[in-house]
Amino acid sequence: MNIKNKLISAAESLFDRNGFTATGMDRLTQAAGISSRTLYKHAGSKSALIAKVLTERDKRFLRRLEVRSVDALFKALEDWVRVEGCRGCLFLRAYGETGGDIPEIAEVMSAHKEGLWNKIQEIVAIETGGLDDPGLAEQVLILFEGATSVAVYRGAEAVEKARNAAVAIVSRAK
């Protein structure tokens, strides 16, 4: 693994477990096994590192969502939660901890949420035979995002319950 990937992997793990504010640069250098000079050379700043971590996570997450049904969408989220853990949306946590005031973090968060929204609209259209129904897609989005949050304190089973609700509302729209 190259230094950049090692740094991003270590940073993602620390940010996810401890939060963005609580994770200092010294802790990042120690976890990645690099010097602070190397860290700044590859990351630039903590804000830039957070944005890079989120960008890489976005790619990994959206690859899992390459599905064509609401059922499969929520099954992909169930799998993600089981593998990655139930700590909530890292994008919203980054945005919340930084107050939305750091442009590169806000941009990555917005792009991620826009990609998720587009994917859900696409899946809803497939499931309903091409029906463009933003209201129905919004309901599925709320169930998806809600399941991510509720899984923090109710466990991965919360995603299964949301999946059942989403499948039911989409089935009624067909």
| pLDDT of amino acid 174 | 81
- The CA angle 90-143-50, to the nearest 5 degrees, is 10
Task: Report pLDDT digits (tens) over 140-159.
Answer: 999 999 999 999 999 999 99
| pLDDT of amino acid 14 | 97
| pLDDT of amino acid 114 | 98
Cβ within 8 Å of residue 63, ≥6 positions away:
none
Range of the domain at 27: 1-44
Same domain for 118 and 163? yes
Cβ within 8 Å of residue 119, ≥6 positions away:
62, 65, 73
Same domain for 108 and 30? no
Same domain for 135 and 162? yes
Same domain for 58 and 92? yes
Q: How many domains does the chain have?
A: 2
Same domain for 59 and 104? yes
CATH number at residue 36: 1.10.10.60
CA separation for the pair 172, 167 (Å, rounded) = 9
Same domain for 80 and 118? yes
Same domain for 22 and 62? no
Same domain for 163 and 132? yes
Task: Report pLDDT digits (tens) over 62-75.
Answer: 999 999 999 999 99
Same domain for 68 and 38? no
Task: Report pLDDT digits (tens) over 81-124.
Answer: 999 998 999 999 999 999 999 999 999 999 999 999 999 999 99
Task: Report pLDDT digits (tens) over 17-47.
Answer: 999 999 999 999 999 999 999 999 999 999 9
Same domain for 11 and 66? no
Residue 1 pLDDT greater than 80, yes or no: no
What's the pTM? Answer: 0.93
Same domain for 168 and 88? yes
